[in-house]
Amino acid sequence: MANTLLMPKATAVWLVDNTALSFDQIANFCKLHPLEVKAIADGESAQGIKGLDPVSTGQLSREEIAKAESDPSHALKLADSKYVVPELRKKGPRYTPVSKRHDRPNAILWLVRNHPELKDAQISRLVGTTKNTIEQIRNRTHWNSANLQPIDPVALGLCTQIDLDFEVQKAAKSRPADVPSEQSDSLLPASETETMPVTDILSTPTRPREEEEELDADAVFAKLKSLKGSEEDEEAEDSTS
């Protein structure tokens, strides 16, 4: 990727405030119009924009600024970046170099075994293959299935670890949540009661709790009668004494 000036207007603000460069030099370096640079110098434009030092960001050297200040005809040159910024990959199948295409079946086998949650489209994006090939490897119908060995696609250089982690996390988010095997003893889930008729809800039996026991009416009355009889006997003994 060709070097590109970061934040050109903020850089122009800094150059206007901190150097003796001409408006044309600053305009050519920052890809602005000279009148716009003049408006920045007069305070009519870029108000509230904080200047960005191109020297601290490695986009311009002190020697280059001094050379341009001494020679008004000198055009500032953008310094070579010390860091390589990868270009954004366009949508579509990943391009795989010819020298690494024979490794794709091994990478597909590794992904199928270690990340079964990945969809065919995700595997295709990672290693640049077709759904037909993925299906053949998954079903062991590939012409070279007997000789395939699962190998990490990152180790083979077919994709980056960032791309692999992104696809795995994406697949994990789309996976449905686990449904509990047992529901509550006394309540039905809301998703069922919302669609059930009222008569079915009222007639649905509930499972009795283990600690609850059925009450025997005769046993209760017999117990109360025995308690009442014992109280009468105690009163009779008190009156005789």
Write out pLDDT tens, residues 118-177: 999 999 899 888 899 999 999 999 888 889 999 988 888 888 888 899 999 988 887 665
What pLDDT does residue 137 have? 93
> What mean pLDDT is predicted for residues 199-216?
51
Tell me the C-alpha distance between 45 and 36, whole Å: 7
Q: Which two tokens stand for residue 128?
A: 């640049």
| HEC string for 58-89 | CCCCHHHHHHHHHCCCCCCCCCCCCCCCCCCC
Q: Which is nearest to 72 in space by CA: 19, 14, 118?
A: 19
Q: Is residue 153 exposed (0-12), middle (13-18) or buried (19+ Cβ within 10 Å)?
A: buried
When comparing pLDDT for 109 and 197, which is higher? 109
CA distances from 35 to 80, 141, 218, 223 (A): 28, 69, 106, 107
How far is 11 from 52, CA to CA, in rounded Å?
5
| Residue that the structure tokens 């270690």 belong to | 114
Residue 93, φ and ψ in degrees, nearest 5: -60, 145
* 1 band by pLDDT with thresholds 50, 70 and 90: very low
The confidence band for 231, taking pLDDT boundaries of 50, 70 and 90, is low
Q: Which residue has the higher pLDDT, 169 or 1?
A: 169
Phi-psi region of 183 (alpha: psi -120 to 50; beta: other; left: phi over 0): beta
Take residue 65 and report the two structure tokens written for it: 């600024």
Range with lowest mean pLDDT among 76-90, 152-166, 182-196: 182-196
CB count within 10 Å of CB 127 equals 26
As a whole number of angstroms, the distance between CA 32 and CA 8 comes to 8
Q: What is the pLDDT of residue 234?
A: 59
Name the helix (H) or strand (E) containing 17. Answer: helix 8-18
What contacts 195, CB < 8 A, 6 or more positions away? none
